[in-house]
Structure 1
């Protein structure tokens, strides 16, 4: 089949959509090779003969059907020009069908405005495709808009084509109404989650192809504070009314700041994502200030009381604000950032908006990565112990060491306990980690004892989290480890924080008592920062108080002492001694601090003055030096 040139349409489409009625003046001097133009000049308004039929019989049986059909139809030549149109076609376009002869079908059916559709249309006319089906929007001469189903396919012989244009406006309107119901929230009448994500994806895609835009996008992700209490106390009907009122105020904010509220057309989109969660989408954002202004407007609007069914309600909202370049941003990534920022707003006190902070998010992601790999890290042997001496303030010799765990992370390097212990307590992996630390420390202490049998043995102090007491049988674990390592119980000290020990009752208190009866020493760590309920000191099986380093920090200088700190420490030391307890001061960094602590009767000190945390082999050298830390 030879390729034809389609009259009136060069290779580049671009005619304005809509109906353009052709001139009744016949065109002259445009006869093509097959004589189609000459044939049409003598048969305007009539159905011509097909190539394989005689003129007397051509369409003899179909002429009446063609003219009386209710389906708008037209016969096209190979150039895409109308040879004949039936009355239904003329009625659809509001004109006499005879006036449509010689008109370009592509103009009448809006087939040239879309490059892909124009190419598909040409494929049919050139014989490389069997059929074209599409939906187009036409403008009737009377002014109304028509939605039509357009079809183009070749007739037998391949030289003529049948064009059908069926009015589908009613069906389209019905589908539009159904879609509106599917895409809008019935309570607030705002766009719902499905429409929001459709609009968001479209906005991100458009930002890459519209050079006239800013190429940026903004999002306010909003959650009402305390909405559940409204539903629980006043009922869901009042709750729904409150949501509807919130939607109206958010829409007005969007309008005032340059958008169209809940309208799904271009502009700020306000959507209800579900429950008491709303989103305000800013396409072509002008920058952070614009999105922040919208967030502040929403916050201020919602803080005004609501009068609903005789109830006067006051609510607030937490808002996460994200504003960034659209290029490289995905809908999922944007929503994750917004959700994280909303969580920050609630964590920071609610009733506020918070801007996304990449650095803070990176810290959160690091925490999440550490939390998810804590348990496997214990099995992989990624943890190690260092030991910091506990030095007698009277003789300057090490009496024990505190075991401090380190995580040799393959990605983040060596991590101190403050980077992962709280995470381990949150996810429960502190039980496995704590058991490993306890066993490794006891095994090392026993090894030192065996290596230097003549030296004064050092006790080892191990931190124990309160969750280890509740979630495991700590007494059984300690007994089993002491038996396995053959470490004498008096060489083990367990440190628990003051907040974990004070107020202990039931199982924790029983466990501490059992450990004390076993011969293990119990120390209260960071004493003075928690409950400080001194009455419990006489009831708990405690041997040692470790004063928090904040008290010792007041001893930094003889020239500028803090009398209050010294008075408190002196009183605590005196009280502890009267109760038969020893006192260890943490964070001793200078000789002046050590001297003053010694003067008021403190028993042992721990800090950088004596030594930083050391690997096990350095502790062996400490034993060789008779416990003296002068060279450490």
Structure 2
């Protein structure tokens, strides 16, 4: 025996025995066929008539059926269509056993769904060859079907098989309320960060471990059978997993399981030498919502998952119709935003940043505003995240920079004594991922004739931490061109002191949360004093944001803060309103009207 033959024998022995069912009215042939098939290591069963054979086939779910043409209660040709109509038997290969030599009989057998035939009397070698050929063919087809429906990384059902199972679950639940179920949409909260920082190989290891944890926690159904019920865990794609949780009367029952899964997912992952921790956000929807299509149920579970992320991640949310309406409104905003870019719906407002010593206008922060003709004024908190997600923020930011530069140059020409020293523009997290950002922005400055030192770019700590290497290169390039840099919202995010030394900042903008609490006790005052001392030692200008009360202003002045920004000092204004404000307020040194005699632009 050759080595290849040995490997083939080992492979066959490693597989579970094929189940073979013989349906034949001749009792003497049953032990004979069993003996002939014994070398193939099959699991053998038999029946003596069509009725018993049908019942045995449904209970046994054989891998192959040997069916006699002549039966006491009919013919094999008549029984064949009945076998093919049953979902569990539709693809089972069937060999017809016949003594007939008539072509019409054989043609009828194949037309009814037979896979092969064998004439009586037959020999053991011939029977084994036909049976083995069909079993091997069926196993190959099963393997191909498994490859087409199983995610190779996790071994879980893939999107195609999931949708098939989900549709079957929906159909069963519509026929019988006792078959109700819940659907859970699971998204790993920090997968992109882990995948980008450790590499795709570790990302794959993490997904495989996550799939195994879900499988172990839920005792999932792995069968590829056509009529399957029971809990299913599937990988939808990326770091998104789906659970079809059978037997839940309502969504509340699924939340208990979701809580357990969140605990399991949050346990540390040991990936070679790395220990990784994260959480998951889970969206839940119940079949009692009147669903008829798998796609609709997946959509609503996805909506609920994003609601869980919005609530802070590491939690679950049950779908409600209000969530769907919110998504529809968001889609409406997205479409409206695409149409608004480049029109007068989008305009700029400018919020003053003043010297706390003499109220001189030092700088203005450029703020984008949107006034829709039908929807009215739309908050930046609503449309900026949409612009970032769709990457519309990139062309939008270019427009903002051009308009802001044009306005700044206008001020320098028409009110040189009162014009701000520079303008400050915010960078978005999406811009920090654009390797062409610096080149494109410097081209705009050159096109507009804007001195680079008159532009300040604001970036938050959290943005830097999310795009650390890219941010380092971009900020360094901007600094080489003379552009000013500011760390925005200092004290609200990571508050990494090393970040101040690692990146070439000119200005430190203290977050309004610290300003809000300045009068609550000595602890906050001491913290603000420490921040201003740090800025002075590092040679940074410092701006206190969110100044809205006189007591805040007085304390900040006493602590040595040089610049301030907030509604008390000046609200965001249109360009024309800012000119008027500068001439009648800050420009003349009169500050009595700063909090009241300004017009809100947004």
User: Which bracket does the TM-score occupy, shorter chain normalised?
Assistant: 0.5 to 0.7
Q: Which residue of 2 aligns with 1:564?
A: 523
**In the alignment, does 2:566 pair up with 1:607?**
yes
Q: Secondary structure at the match of 2:425?
A: strand
| Gap regions ≥5 residues in structure 1 | 1-87, 95-108, 110-133, 139-146, 148-164, 253-260, 305-315
After TM superposition, list the pairs within 5 Å mapping 1:539-578 onto structure 2.
542-556=505-519, 561-578=520-537
Give distance in 1, aligned partners of 2:554 and 2:531.
17
Q: CA offset at residue 597 of structure 1?
A: 0.8
Query: What is the match of residue 433 of structure 1?
Result: 396
Q: In terms of Rg, which structure is larger?
A: 1
**Aligned match of 1:620:** 579
Structure 2, unaligned runs of 5 or more: 1-68, 86-93, 95-107, 117-130, 192-199, 268-278
1:410-461 per-residue CA deviation (whole Å, 9 max, x = no partner) reads: 7865444444545555665444332222211111122233443564556322
Alignment of 1:145-224 (within 5 A): 171=114, 197=163, 200-201=166-167, 204=170, 213=177, 217-220=181-184
Q: Measure the CA separation in 1 of the matches of 2:313 and 2:493.
A: 27
Q: Does 1:511 align with 2:477?
A: yes
Cα distance change on mapping 1:472 and 1:222 into 2, 3 Å: closer
Aligned to 1:405: 368
Q: Superposed, which structure 2 residues align to 1:338-377 within 5 Å?
A: 338=301, 355-356=318-319
Name 1:591's counterpart in structure 2: 550
| Aligned partner (choices 352, 367, 380) of residue 389 of structure 1 | 352
Alignment of 1:307-318 (within 5 A): none
Partner of 1:249: 219
Structure with the bigger percentage of helix: 2
Q: Distance in 1 between matches of 2:477 and 2:384?
A: 22
Residue in 1 aligned with 2:244?
280
Paired residues in the alignment total 456
Match of 1:527 in 2: 490
Q: TM-score, normalised by structure 1?
A: 0.54
Question: CA offsets per residue over residues 258-307 of structure 1, 9 Å max, x none?
Answer: xxx99876964657678996743547x63224445666798999999xxx
Instruction: Pick closer, same or farther for the CA change 1:515–1:551 going to 2, 3 Å.
Output: farther
Q: Flag the 1:200–1:373 CA change in 2: closer, same or farther, 3 A.
A: same
In the alignment, what sits opposite 1:378? 341
1:550 deviation in Å? 1.9
Please tell me whether the aligned partners of residues 249 and 302 of structure 1 are also in contact (alpha carbons under 8 angstroms): no
Partner Cα distance (1:555, 1:439) in 2:
37
- The 3-state SS of whatever aligns with 1:250 is coil
How far does residue 602 in structure 1 lie from its aligned partner after superposition?
Answer: 1.2
Q: Distance in 1 between matches of 2:264 and 2:408?
A: 65
Change (3 A) 1:214 1:568: same
Separation (CA, whole Å) in 1 of partners of 2:321 and 2:301: 12
Q: Deviations over 1:171-218 (max 9, x none)?
A: 59999x97995998599999997776556445545666x5x7479653
Aligned position for 2:288:
325
For the residue of structure 2 that corresponds to 1:448, the secondary structure is helix
TM-superposed deviation, 1:593: 0.4
* Aligned alpha-carbon RMSD (Å): 6.0
Cα distance in 2, alignment partners of residues 137 and 535 from structure 1 = 71
- Superposed, 1:123-142 pairs within 5 Å as none
